[in-house]
Amino acid sequence: MTRIPALLQLAGSASLLAISAIAAPAQADNLREALVEAYGSNPTLEAARANQRATDEGVPIQRAPGLPSLDVTATHIEFIRQSANAFAPPERNLGVTTALLVPVYSGGAVRNGIAAAKDRVEAGQADLRNTESTIFAQVVAAYMDVLRTEALAALAANNVAVLRTNLEATSDRFQIGDVTITDVAQSRSRLAVAEGDLQQAEANLIAARETYIRLVGQAPGELAPPPPLPGLPDTMGDAIVSALENNPNLEAAKLRAEAAGFDTKVAGAGRLPTVGLFVNGQYSDFFGTLASNFPGLVQREVTANAGVRVTVPLFQGGLPAARQRQAGARESAALEDVIASERQIIAETRSTWSNWQAANGVIKSAQAAVEAAELSLEGVRAENSIGNRTIIEVLNAEQELVSARAQLVTARRNAYVAGFNLLALMGKAEARDLNLDIEGVLYDPTINAQRVSAKMWDWDRDPKAEAKSTRTVDIPAPDATIGPQLLPREM
């Protein structure tokens, strides 16, 4: 299968602009740097990582009800008015009670709750992978949009310059009677339209640069052509197989369906007995106020007891059954979501494959159109100089060449973006696939999941929350300046 022509072979010599073969500046920004910056500072990605850390806490939260609990309760009582029938009433009392409860059996609620939480942690990790590849796809599109809009703005600027020269030449020829006032008006009209197109192209360039800043966190410099995309499939079938095996959205849907199955079991445990061991201790101090006229009474005492508590639910108004039916319905919905996700991925993969192939075809057609339009313009100009062609024919030929070049630039952008989106659908557009390791370190969500899964200390806490992504408020607003290296050859 043919790869993306030219655009994916930029490491050779062809320029992205398809206007002139210009080597990338040594200090130019490149796509890998843009992806690395986004990976380390994009707020959407940082927020997704933080949300995943919150999901990780579901495991210790579900485990906690199955662990021993220890409580201490202290109560000080002042007896303001005593019963007339009370025997040896005290005036005050300090009571301290300690209770230790050890759960033994909970009908499987804790075990299944932990299993569901672990599945949701893995589903969240898959969601994080999807967020990562989505951000990368947006960065790639923004990067290519800057290159495209710079090229289109350069084309528009060059077109204005050419049409301005044409108008001057046509006006000079009108002065000597070689052309009519109609030719002059046609040239002036085309120039006015071209000037409007240039203004729109510059506005589009500013918008593209703003999008780049928002996603990457830095202003674009002189962007270098992107590298070839790795691992593109040879057939649509290969793409679909890879997507069904590796797409993070589908993986997350499957894991959530498994978690929903454990939720159904948790709900059903509400009708089963629970067993627990308990140990209670109590200290009581009456501060010498316990009937001082009865010297044999103890003013301080310590008591303790231990036992087994078995709770057997007999009737709860149908609550456990309702909860289990509810959980079962949600499990059914989760299973349907798996199929819906699978359908969506298949449709998107096929559509993206078609867009990629179409863009490749447009590139070939546009390259041929540019070559033909260049030859046509050269011939029309030569024939016009001897009176065999009119000014409007020259203007039309110039416009055809501009349109063909613009189509080629856009097709190359579309092909690269579609190719990257195809990789994302196949689960091959993450940092680990793109060699974005910074000093060998990539964000690994499993590290935090393992760190918190067995934590039991009530006073354990993480550092104070703070934003990690970079702000863009100090980055100057971009303009529509086009570097001289982007200007095309004379048409």
CATH 1.20.1600.10 fits 7-67+108-270+326-486, yes or no: yes
Residue entry with tokens 């011939």? 379
Tokens encoding 468:
């990690």
Residue ranges for the chain with pLDDT beneath 70: 1-28, 85, 291-295, 437-440, 484-491
pLDDT, tens digit (0-9, with 9 covering 90-100), for 410-449: 999 999 999 999 999 999 999 988 888 665 678 999 999 9
* Amino acid letter, residue 318: G
In the prediction, which pLDDT does 389 show?
84
Q: Where does residue 359 rank: exposed (0-12), middle (13-18), buried (19+ CB within 10 A)?
A: buried
Task: Give the pLDDT confidence of 138-155 residue by residue, as tens digits.
Answer: 999 999 999 999 999 999
Give pLDDT tens digits for 162-183. Answer: 889 889 888 988 888 888 899 8
Mean residue pLDDT of the chain comes to 88
Residues 358 and 379: their CA atoms lie apart, in Å, by 31
- Which residues share a beta bridge with 304? 281
Nearest to 80 by CA among 67, 70, 90: 90
